[in-house]
Structure 1
Amino acid sequence: MEATTTKRWEALDILRGLSIIFMLLSLNPGAWGQSYSWLVHAVWQGGEFIDMVAPVFLFCIGVVIPLSLRRRTEKGAGKAELVRHILIRAALLVVIGLFLNGYPGFDFAHLRLPGVLQRIGMAYALVSLFVLFAGGRNPVKATAIAFAAVTIGWFLWLYLVPVPGFGAPRFDPVGSWPAYIDRAVFTTDHMFPYWPVDGKVVFDPDGLLSTIPVCANVLFGALTGALYPSLKRPLVTLFTVGTLLMALAVLLNGLCPIIKNIWTSTFILFTCGFSWASLALITVLIERLKAAPVLFPAKVYGANPLLAYVLSFLLGPVIDFVWLKPPAYSLRGLGQVTFSTFADSHLASFLFGMVMLTVIFLPLLLCWQKRWFLKL
């Protein structure tokens, strides 16, 4: 835990906070299978609102990368020190992700190896090293070229390069390149088991190969961090271009389907556009409509997202343990039953998620008051 007094980008903190809030709402329903549809990930093609959460969070990470590297450089850090910092931070994220995947039973024979934090760690490291070494005198141009190269290159790979035994193009959960590589590298015993196809585990939504296109969203964030100060009408630009990117993704959906689980290029375009439009709208809310006090909880979550995420996972087994006998209720089940006395099952499930958000918010608020932020 690190104390800091660094001035923060308020709209970005709130956007990051909202992304972690919706992520935790999705992860903490009162009853699995009773969540509102917009809080349930699309199993494959298409998307729901919740599918925007991870890309927005990755975008926010990217925005901070050039700012963080510049600040450390101004304090005298050399490239060797910065590389060490980047790699250590990425490695710690991977280790924490593996710990949370195993917690609390630690069944190593079936330990899921990919995961959200593992993916964040790898994407953060790759983009940070790129910005550090390839940014040069024109970081905006270099980052824009890298973003375009990853986005276009990923589409061409999926569309043109035959998958052994399956051919091309393949955008499905069985025969696509990401699914094929994950099965070969991790084996199905160490992959996400909850979305089987015909009863078999065939893909992982946070797999190894699909981390490459994930870097595009982080690069887009880094591009934003480098470009934003020079924009003459930043809010208009962000909202207009963001909307156009989303429209372009929908237009190209027939050629390249929008699929989060293999992070297709149209998914990149749509979510990058969504990130820009969202950042613009939040900036309007706090600067023009003075809504910052209403969004204060999101600001607290946004200042400590890693701590919020870890706390959610640590609390999971606690709320699922059967404490009350009879009747045999876990805290999650008791919450669902209690809220169902006056609300339908979907609202009851949502209200339990709100209770969990409140429980996690309390230690985050204490950290906020103490100016403590969990940094790696």
Structure 2
Amino acid sequence: MNSVPNKSYRLESLDILRGFDLFLLVGLQPILVAIGQVWDNEFYHGFLYQFDHEIWAGFRLWDLIMPLFLFMTGVTIPFSLDNKKGGAGGPIYRHILRRFLILWLLGMVMQGNLLSWDWHQFKLYSNTLQAIAMGYAVTAVLYFNLGIRKIVMMAIFLLVVYAVPFMLEDNFSEQDNFAIRLDRMLLGRFMDGAYWGDGQVVFSQHYNYTWLWSSLTFSVTVMMGCLAGKLMKDGVKVIPEQVFRQLIWLGVICIGLGLLWSIQMPIIKRIWTSSMTLFSGGICFLLMGLFYYIIDLKKIVKPFQWLKLYGMNSIVAYFLGEMLNFRSVVHSLTYGLESMLPQYQELILTIGNFTLVFLLLLALYKAKVFVKI
């Protein structure tokens, strides 16, 4: 029988899974896309299709990146709050509020509108980090006060509440569904996809992401991660392989329920439908279970150790990969090679940009500098 280390143990599988998610986002996908620009191969472009978001109804590999971020945020909650239960609530709520505000502001910086210093460009709620902030705050407060069993009940309740207006209207059109109408009504000119034209707000007909009503299901995704984290944290009390089986079964059940619900409510990531929440959450359970089994139970860590560079400095990796552009630095070193191979210029710059991000994260890791919120 395998034993789970004591409560001071750091869940390596979580660091590595988070690193895997970030590596896909800031490293692998940009390089694969750059290769696709110079390699006209039908099979490869079919493979590359999975590395972009579904236009509307349906689900691709790339649609899993954001749900997995939210799910893993939930996994950390039992590890950070269990030993604080029964204590004073004030410091806990201040910690939750502080983390919420930092994530929210960082999201605005990442989206580019906070640093524009132009109130016409100011967008209030439009970024993955803000979705994480919302889901984290809701789940953390509920978990601290109610515990995991009631969290599960609340998740079911929120899934149903989210679905009610859609069930009543039976309308999942891109520009006239309940969720996007709510965003336009309440966020107005501060909604992403809104711009000024002739002195009034104009809503882009090409923007179809929603945030306010989708916060209900953002929270459910974090709650699903919270359940996974609780199962793993309490794994010391049971047979560890049983925790693995629980995660796998939860994944299979959620995927099945999501597909069943999709008959009535399509799987649409852009408005985070209840069916999409269950389907993507189910895949997250499976991935978490697989990584937990390989990394924490079987101790097969070495082949995946490099992913900790991304996973243990996730905020830094996200900023370096998504916001900062090192291509001018790369170009100053590779302009000769680019002139020799002009058709590969984009690929050279992309690989160079990824390499610099990797080296910066490696330097931080070796110096044991980890930025936490």
Structures share fold, TM-score greater than 0.5: yes
> For 1:149-169, what per-residue CA distance to the aligned partner results, in whole angstroms no more than 9, with x for missing partners?
112221223212xxxxxxx12
Equivalent in the alignment of 1:69: 81
Equivalent in the alignment of 2:317: 308
Give the Cα–Cα distance (whole angstroms) in 2 for the partners of residues 148 and 270 of structure 1. 14
Q: Is 1:263 equivalent to 2:272 in the alignment?
A: yes
Equivalent in the alignment of 1:187: 188
Q: Is 1:88 equivalent to 2:92 in the alignment?
A: no
> For 1:244-265, what per-residue CA distance to the aligned partner results, in whole angstroms no more than 9, with x for missing partners?
3213322332211000011111
Higher helix share: 2
**Aligned with 1:57: secondary structure?**
helix
Matches within 5 A, 1:83-232: 83-102=93-112, 105-113=116-124, 114-133=126-145, 135=146, 139-160=147-168, 168-187=169-188, 190-192=191-193, 200-201=204-205, 203-205=207-209, 207-228=211-232, 229-230=234-235, 232=239
Runs of at least 4 residues off by over 4 Å:
29-35, 103-107, 287-290, 320-324, 351-355
Does the aligned pair in 2 maintain the 1:16–1:57 contact within 8 Å? yes
Say how many residue pairs are matched.
Answer: 338
Equivalent in the alignment of 1:243: 252
Equivalent in the alignment of 2:372: 375
**Aligned with 2:269: secondary structure?**
coil
Give the Cα–Cα distance (whole angstroms) in 1 for the partners of residues 35 and 192 of structure 2. 20
Give the Cα–Cα distance (whole angstroms) in 2 for the partners of residues 68 and 207 of structure 1. 27
Shift of 1:290: 4.9
**Structure 1 254/310 Cα, relative in aligned 2: closer, same or farther at 3 Å?**
same
Equivalent in the alignment of 1:10: 12
**Aligned with 1:315: secondary structure?**
coil
Q: Is 1:358 equivalent to 2:369 in the alignment?
A: no
Give the Cα–Cα distance (whole angstroms) in 2 for the partners of residues 320 and 255 of structure 1. 49
Structure 1 residue runs of 5 or longer lacking an equivalent are: 1-5, 161-167, 325-329, 342-347
**Structure 1 211/204 Cα, relative in aligned 2: closer, same or farther at 3 Å?**
farther
**Structure 1 67/322 Cα, relative in aligned 2: closer, same or farther at 3 Å?**
closer
Shift of 1:322: 12
Shift of 1:226: 2.0
Give the Cα–Cα distance (whole angstroms) in 1 for the partners of residues 260 and 107 of structure 2. 36
* Aligned partner letter, 1:275: C
* Aligned partner letter, 2:152: A
Matches within 5 A, 1:30-45: 34=37, 36-45=48-57
* Aligned partner letter, 1:217: T
Equivalent in the alignment of 2:25: 23
Percent sequence identity over aligned pairs: 26
Shift of 1:190: 3.9
**Aligned with 1:120: secondary structure?**
helix
**Aligned with 2:141: secondary structure?**
helix
Shift of 1:85: 1.1
**Aligned with 2:123: secondary structure?**
coil
* Aligned partner letter, 1:298: L
> For 1:180-210, what per-residue CA distance to the aligned partner results, in whole angstroms no more than 9, with x for missing partners?
111122336741479xxxx933645252221
Give the Cα–Cα distance (whole angstroms) in 2 for the partners of residues 203 and 276 of structure 1. 30
Shift of 1:101: 1.8
Equivalent in the alignment of 2:199: none
**Structure 1 338/214 Cα, relative in aligned 2: closer, same or farther at 3 Å?**
farther
Shift of 1:353: 5.3
Shift of 1:26: 7.3
* Aligned partner letter, 1:253: S
**Structure 1 187/11 Cα, relative in aligned 2: closer, same or farther at 3 Å?**
same
Shift of 1:86: 0.6
Does the aligned pair in 1 maintain the 2:330–2:349 contact within 8 Å? no
Q: Alpha carbon RMSD of aligned pairs, Å? A: 3.3
**Structure 1 116/158 Cα, relative in aligned 2: closer, same or farther at 3 Å?**
same
Does the aligned pair in 2 maintain the 1:60–1:218 contact within 8 Å? yes
Equivalent in the alignment of 1:345: none
Structure 2 residue runs of 5 or longer lacking an equivalent are: 1-7, 38-44, 196-202
Give the Cα–Cα distance (whole angstroms) in 1 for the partners of residues 142 and 206 of structure 2. 32
